[in-house]
Structure 1
C-alpha cells in the first residue's frame, strides 16, 4: 500500500520545534509525525483495554466518596 498524503496545519512554533527535532535527530518530519500518531493510537488501545478489564468492577458514587472523606476528616 502506498503512503497517503494529507495536509496538516500546525501552529508556527510547533512546526519550528518539529523542524528542529527533525534536523537534530536525522528523522524526517513525516517520520516524527507518524511516530507521534502511532504512539497516540497505542495509548488509546491501552486505555480501551484497561477500560474493558475494569468495566465489571463495582462503582461508588462520587457523593459517597466525598462523604467518606469528610467522615475521615480529610475534607
Structure 2
C-alpha cells in the first residue's frame, strides 16, 4: 500500500464545484476546464484483498498468499 504522498492544500467549500462526467450518473460536463484549477483526473485500478485496498497486483497477490497460509486446514 502507498503511504501519504505529502500534504494537500486546504480547500474551502466555495472552492469546490461538483460536476459529474458524462456517463457518470447522467452528469453533464462543466463549462470550466478541470486543468484551469490544476485538477488532473487519474483512473487507478485497485485490488481488494481481506478488506484492504492495493494499487499493485503484486502486493494484492502477496497478501492473498499470506492470508491463505493463515487459514486453518480442515480435517
TM-score, with structure 1 as normaliser: 0.30
- The structure with the larger Rg is 1
TM-score, with structure 2 as normaliser: 0.30
More helix by share: 1
Q: Which one scores higher on RCO, CA 8 angstroms, separation ≥ 6? A: 2
More strand by share: 2
